[in-house]
Amino acid sequence: MNLYSGKMNKLVEELSALPGIGYKSAGRLADYLIRQPEERVKSLADAMLDARQNVHFCKTCFTLTDADICPICADANRDHSTIMVVEDTRDLAAYEKTGKYPGVYHVLQGAISPMMGIGPNDIRLKELMTRLEGDVKEVIIATNSSLEGETTAMYISKLIKQLPIGIRVSRIASGVPVGGDLENIDEITLLRALDGRVEL
Ligand code: ZN
């Protein structure tokens, strides 16, 4: 589409390429941005570029961070023998927001999806198995309750059960709606799902 002219059109095109932003919303955002003080727009552009250049995966849990080891993995007060496995950093943030989970995380950066051609080697699963060689007592699988999330949970639990060491594997309880992304679920439901986790 080419409803705006020149640079305005370029801005609308770029914004409408973002997830969840349609052409109409992109027009509204572009209109808003050009009415802001130049400083404000520069600060936004700088934040985007700065995050893109400096945010990477934590070397231990693979969440997004700008340090080598994220603050959660670096925190000696947390229980490093309990690992909660989530699909992405937004799911980790959902559980962190409750402030009631004392363990650490492992962020898969995706889920197994045969339909999309995403296999076990395309997510951070090998890295999880390497972590289990350390002193780990429990793995809580908190992947989403979508088909992909359930497939991933089953796959991981099978792998862990094949290990010669006895690690407890549990799955967060239902209560998290089917197909629901963890990040959209309220804190009480998340905590109930954690407390009511079932051993696999
Ligand atoms: Zn980490």
List residues, by chain if needed, whose CB lies under 5 Å from ion ligand 1: 58, 60-61, 70, 73
Predicted confidence at residue 176, as pLDDT, reads 57
User: How high is the pLDDT of residue 165?
Assistant: 81
- Measuring CA to CA, how many Å separate 181 from each of 6, 10, 43, 77, 83? 39, 33, 31, 28, 19
36 secondary structure, DSSP code: S
What's the confidence (pLDDT) of residue 87? Answer: 95
Of 96, 61, 107, nearest to 183 by C-alpha is 96
Fold of 66-199: Dna Topoisomerase Vi A Subunit; Chain: A, domain 2 (3.40.1360)
- CA dihedral in degrees (124, 126, 130, 135; nearest 10)? 60
Fold of 6-54: Helicase, Ruva Protein; domain 3 (1.10.8)
Q: What is the pLDDT of residue 123?
A: 96
107: nearest Cα among 131, 125, 133, 122:
125
Give the Cα-Cα-Cα angle 132, 134, 139 (nearest 5 degrees).
40
Q: Count CA atoms closer than 13 A to 40's CA, side-chain side.
A: 6
Q: What's the gap in Å between 152 CA and the centre of ligand 1?
A: 21
In the prediction, which pLDDT does 173 show?
80
Q: Which residues lie across from 115 on neighbouring strands?
A: none
Whole-number Å distance between alpha carbons of 2 and 23 = 11
118: β partners: 113
Cα(72) to centroid(ligand 1), Å: 6
* pLDDT for 179: 53
- Ligand 1 center from residue 180 Cα (angstroms): 24
Cα(59) to centroid(ligand 1), Å: 7
pLDDT less than 70: residues of the chain: 1, 174-184
Please say whether the beta carbons of 140 and 83 come within 8 A: yes
pLDDT of residue 197: 86
d(CA 84, CA 142): 6
Q: Ligand 1 center to residue 176 CA distance, Å?
A: 25
Distance (Å) from CA 69 to ligand 1 centroid: 5
**Which of these, 87, 79, 95, lies nearest to 137 by C-alpha position?**
79
Q: Which helix (H) or strand (E) holds 139?
A: strand 138-141
Sorted by where each begins, the domain ranges of the chain are 6-54, 66-199
How far is Cα 70 from Cα 129, in angstroms, rounded to an integer? 19
